[in-house]
Amino acid sequence: MTTPYKYKLLPMEKVFRDPVHNYIHVQHQVILDLINSKEVQRLRRIKQLGTSSFTFHGAEHSRFTHSLGVYEISRRICDIFSRNFSIEKIGPSGWDDRERLVTLCAALLHDIGHGPYSHTFEHIFQTNHEAITVEIITSPETEVYQILNRVEEGFPEKVASVIKKTYPNPQVVQMISSQIDADRMDYLLRDAYFTGTEYGTFDLTRILRVIRPYQGGIAFSMNGMHAVEDYIVSRYQMYVQVYFHPVSRGMEVVLEHLLHRAHELYHQDDDSFARHSQLLLPFLDGTFSLDEYLKLDDGVLNTCFSQWTDSSDPILSDLAKRFLNRKPLKSAMFSGDRQSPLIAELTSLVEKVGYNPNYYTAINSSYDLPYDFYRPEEGRHRTQIEILRNDGTLVELSEVSQLVAALAGQEQGDERFFFPKEMVDPTLRNHYDLFDETYQEFARHIHNGALIEEIN
């Protein structure tokens, strides 16, 4: 009798060699088939950290490697729960291993809807990677759907509900999406490894040792609290030192302005883009289909940028060159009103020397909470980290950790004014600009202004 696809295991488990987890173990045929699907393989062509690779040159890893990592951590948690905390052993608050397959599929597919340079691309073209992830999983036209639907009828919708956080089992949802989940644990370790930093490292082995299921989701035993604290601090450090790095943000601003300029020019002369940017056309006119979305990756956008360097439009051409050749906008940190006279004066000076301020200046904010507790009065829906006491009761992490309490609810990040580096670096200017006092006035504001502090 043929084993149903739902229960079909590989004759011998397949492993993927991984620099973070050593080996990634695949035992189910459905997981291997999903990995080999064209929608998952597309993630090989999308960088995990986008413009951060311009700052940390080793950060060339892809969303594919991250997706495998999230799968692997989830697989290990399922093994631990099944071995030590099954419903057969501890009752209704335990783990039902019948949830394993939907968990592993959701873990592998959680990022499948990301586009090229995802967050910047989303902002310009009004896409939503989570909504597209759900669409890929539930659309009968995709290989992913066809594979999932062979498990059982309605299985794609089950996996999609985990992504949407509507799946009825909170243990499954929190394993994939919470303040300490397989997704975050993998990207912190992976991003730290490939950026060459130590900020994101924490004791994953210990965290997996103290993770526990309970009826309302996932908790961590009290004797492992310090490992959880270490994870929170690692996340804090990675955001401050890596994810919010001003040079990466300077490149992101160039990318955003480049795509915005292309979008604007398309509506003036769509024929020129039809000749060299065909895969991007559906997004420039806002009529893209799922199939057209899945044809995009970082390479497609970079090819468009290379073609735009020869554009007759000087702004499009210059921004494309700045992006491809790593010429980020410089920035200065400030606090106070975005509409302050000083910001207006700096913008005016940039315009005075010939730069269009819409494309060569920007205010960019980056803020994130290293940890947040549940605040029902504010309508927040973050899942707080629960610590399991020895007597079986639960307590929210910041109530027992002074370290986390000091970080909880405290935003990290800054607000920056971005401008061309030529404004403060005479070596980048044309000879006839060297004696233009406008540059000197700009530099005086940067170095002496009360609200502005030059950083990068």
Neighbours of 440 (CB within 10 A): 13
How far is CA 110 from its chain centroid? 11
291-335 pLDDT, tens per residue?
A: 999 999 999 999 999 999 999 999 999 999 999 999 999 999 887
Fold match flag (5-244+372-407 vs 246-367+413-454): no
CA triple 266-261-258, angle to 5 deg: 125
Specify the residue for token string 């390479």: 299
Average pLDDT rounded to a whole number, residues 179-198 = 96
Strand order in the sheet with 211-214: 211-214, 217-221, 386-388, 394-396
Res. 373 pLDDT band, cuts 50 70 90: very low
Q: What's the confidence (pLDDT) of residue 271?
A: 79
Instruction: Give 201-223 pLDDT, tens digit per residue.
Output: 999 999 999 999 999 999 999 99
Tell me which residue of 405, 414, 370 sits closest to 387, measured CA to CA: 405
The pLDDT of residue 190: 97
Look at residue 381 and tell me whether its pLDDT is greater than 60. Answer: no
Domain 5-244+372-407, CATH among 1.10.1740.10, 3.30.70.1150, 1.10.3210.10, 3.10.20.30: 1.10.3210.10
Which pLDDT score, from 0 to 100, does residue 11 have?
A: 94
The predicted pLDDT at position 368 comes to 63
Tell me the pLDDT tens digit for each residue of 252-303.
999 999 999 999 999 888 778 888 899 999 999 989 999 999 999 999 999 9
Q: 86, 97 in Cβ contact below 8 A?
A: yes
Give the pLDDT band (50/70/90) at residue 377: very low
pLDDT for 456 equals 62
Is there a contact between 358 and 249 (Cβ–Cβ < 8 Å)?
Answer: no
Q: Which of 57, 69, 61 is nearest to 20 (CA)?
A: 69
Give percent of the chain above pLDDT 70. Answer: 93
pLDDT in tens, 107-161: 999 999 999 997 888 988 889 999 999 999 999 999 999 999 999 999 999 999 9
Give the CATH class of 246-367+413-454: mainly alpha
Cα 272 to Cα 296: distance, rounded to the nearest angstrom: 20
Q: Where are the domains of the chain?
A: 5-244+372-407, 246-367+413-454
- The DSSP result for 225-272, as a single string, is HHHHHHHHHHHHHHIIIIIT-HHHHHHHHHHHHHHHHHHHHHTT-HHH
d(CA 120, CA 255): 7
Q: Which two tokens stand for residue 248?
A: 């990466």
Closest residue by Cα to residue 449 from 311, 316, 342: 342
Residue 196 tokens read as 């060459």
Q: Cα 368 vs. chain centroid, distance in angstroms?
A: 13
3-state secondary structure labels for all residues of 39-95:
HHHHHHHCECCHHHHHCCCCCCCEHHHHHHHHHHHHHHHHHHHHHHCEHHHHCCCCE
Residues 6+ apart with CB under 8 A from 103: 74, 78, 162, 172, 175, 176
User: What is the layout of strands, in order, in the sheet containing 362-368?
Assistant: 362-368, 412-419, 330-334, 452-454
**Per this entry, what is the length of the chain?**
456
Distance, C-alpha 22 to centroid of its chain:
23
DSSP state of 422: G
Q: For residues 30 and 160, give the distance between their C-alpha atoms in angstroms, rounded to a whole number.
A: 16
